[in-house]
Amino acid sequence: MSEFQTNSRVIKWIEYRLPIFSYVNEHLVVYPAPKNLNYAYNFGSLAGVMLVVQIVTGIVLAMHYTPHVDYAFDSVEHIMRDVNYGWLMRYMHANGASMFFIVVYIHIFRGLYYGSYKSPREVLWFLGIIILLLMMATAFMGYVLPWGQMSFWGATVITNLFSAIPLIGDSVVTWLWGGFSVDNPTLNRFFSLHYLLPFVLIGVVFLHLWALHHRKSNNPLGIDIKGPQDTIPFHPYYTVKDALGLAVFGVFFALFLFFMPNALGEPDNYIKADPLVTPAHIVPEWYFLPFYAILRSIPDKLGGVIAMFAAIFVLFVLPWLDTSRVRSATFRPIYKQMFWLFVIVCLVLGWCGAKPAEGIYIIVSRVATFLYFAFFGLLPFIGWFERPRPLPESINAAVLKSGGGGAMPEGAAAKAEERG
């Protein structure tokens, strides 16, 4: 790792007092990353970019939005019609939320596949789950702000879940609402918290990065970095790879943003909230559908709520449920199959969540909910029975062996390292 050096006297002056330049150099330039990271590892930086996009567009929207039940819907239309490029800000923010979740879900599944939650990265994984929970709370409250029909009724249904808590449930709900129904106090506090939580998110993201850089990235082989021959400097190798990923993802984002900005939304949310008219189907945003399906698959209200929260909190014990010492699914024949089944189960749950809770959909969501938890329940046993394939001796050895566009003499990697 090369020490930070500069000839600029101004930078030296600052550096002596606040070592910010060497810090940036250490974490964004020379930071040693495994040389075999594939494109699945792009989604972490993409998530960071999406957080920034959401905060920037959100700050602009907040300048024109009015958090009052009588004006919220109108102020959103004012943004769409009268504010210069207001439509762009709002569609970017609304679709950006979906993009953020797509990116983060892929990021989480990547972690599951390559065993990124295992020692010594458990705290990194926990921080990730906290980020997910904060994102969900933020997104839920943000969806309430336009004060359309689905905003209002979604808020009513979800806050009512807390009434399932024994004894104090009803009081908790009244406390959350700031009244006896979802009303102006609810909208005000949701706006306040929706503005606050993203900044809490930034804090947790920094802890997440701190934990990452302390123990370094996992990699598709799931084996430890054994020396400088296994790594390459973050810049330019991964800065350029992340830039490529960002550009391609930008095309995907732009397709939704400019050509189907309402495809992921509910038509009902273009109707002003009316506490006297209940929509035929109350559906949450697509990124909550799997959890919504789990909630509805349990016939008991409290049981459903517990199952829904358990579906996320089970991720906290994952590092101990998985007893295999091998991280990457690449070398775990049984776990690999289970992983893909788990992905399918999550998608099926999402599909069920969008359907009315009746007939065949209930049966399918019950089976899928059972399989969701069965995945975690079976993990300890898989670790004992499974015979993993032999691990490569080192990242560098595996990279050289697989070729990846031609073998490279042993010295070249070290040389690349020196260049950084």
Partner 1 sequence: MRGIGKLVVALSIGLGLAGAAAATPAQAAGEARSPLSRDWPHAGPFGTFDRASVQRGMMVYREVCAACHGLEYIAFRNLLEIGLSEDEAKVIAAEYEITDGPDELGDMFERPGKLSDYYPSPFPNDNAARAANGGALPPDLSLVVKARLGGENYIYSLLVGYEDPPAGVELGDTQHYNPYFAGGAISMAPPLFADMVEYPDGTSATVEQMAYDVTNFLTWTAEPKLEARKQLGVKVIIFLVLFSILMYAVKRKVWAGLH
Position 275 contacts partner 1 (CB under 8 A): no
Residue 411 binds partner 1, judged by CB under 8 A: no
Cis ω on the peptide bond leading into residue 388 (within 30° of 0)? Answer: no
From residue 341, how far is each of 119, 334, 337, 350, 374 by CA, in Å? 24, 11, 6, 14, 11
Q: Which of 4, 210, 237, 309 binds partner 1 (CB under 8 A)?
A: 237
**Considering beta carbons, is residue 1 or 416 the nearer one to partner 1?**
416
Task: Name the minimum Å distance from CB 296 to partner 1.
Answer: 13
CA distance 275 to 183: 9
In whole angstroms, how close is the CB of 135 to partner 1 at the nearest point?
Answer: 16
**Residue 363 is a binding residue for partner 1 (CB under 8 A):** no
236 binds partner 1 (CB under 8 A): yes
Single out the residue of 267, 303, 333, 380 in contact with partner 1 (rule: CB under 8 A): 267
Closest distance to partner 1 from the beta carbon of 413 (Å): 7
> Out of 55, 129, 134, 343, which residue is the one contacting partner 1 (CB under 8 A)?
343
Please report, as residue ranges, which positions from 50 to 79 form the binding site for partner 1 (by CB under 8 A). Answer: 74, 77
H-run or E-run covering 34? strand 32-34
Nearer to partner 1, 42 or 138 (CB): 42
Q: Strand 32-34 and strand 231-233: pairing?
A: antiparallel
CB 152 within 8 A of CB 144: yes
Q: Does 81 bind partner 1 (CB under 8 A)?
A: yes
266 touches partner 1 by CB under 8 A: yes
Q: Is 177 in the site for partner 1 (CB under 8 A)?
A: no
CA 137/CA 134 separation, integer angstroms = 5
Binding flag, residue 258, partner 1 (CB under 8 A): yes
- Catalytic positions are 213, 217, 241-242, 285
Interacting residues of 310 by C-beta distance below 8 A, sequence separation 6+: 373
Task: Give the per-residue contact string, 212-231, with partner 1 (x = CB under 8 A; - = no).
Answer: --------x-----------
Q: Binding of partner 1 at residue 126 (CB under 8 A)?
A: no
Segment lying near partner 1 (by CB under 8 A), choices 168-176, 196-204, 278-286, 297-305: 278-286
DSSP characters over 188-250: HHHHHHHHHHHHHHHHHHHHHHHHHHHH----TT-----SGGGEEEHHHHHHHHHHHHHHHHH
CB of residue 211 vs partner 1: minimum separation in angstroms?
23
CB atoms within 10 A of CB 170: 12
Helix pair angle (72-81, 86-113), 10° resolution: 100
| 113 touching partner 1, by CB under 8 A | yes
Residue with tokens 């969008």: 354
Helices 149-160 and 122-144: crossing angle in degrees, nearest 10, is 130
Q: Does 153 bind partner 1 (CB under 8 A)?
A: no
Which positions from 312 to 341 touch partner 1 by CB under 8 A, shown as an x/- string?
Answer: -----------------xx-----x---x-
Instruction: Confirm or reject binding of residue 360 to partner 1 (CB under 8 A).
Output: no
Distance CA 329, CA 388 (A): 9
Least distance in Å: CB of 230 to partner 1?
A: 12
Q: Which of 303, 400, 298, 293 is nearest to 346 (CA)?
A: 293
Query: At closest approach, how far in Å is the CB of 20 from partner 1?
Result: 26
Q: Provide, rounded to whole angstroms, the least separation between the CB of residue 124 and partner 1.
A: 20
Asked if 253 and 46 count as a contact pair (C-beta separation under 8 A), the reply is no
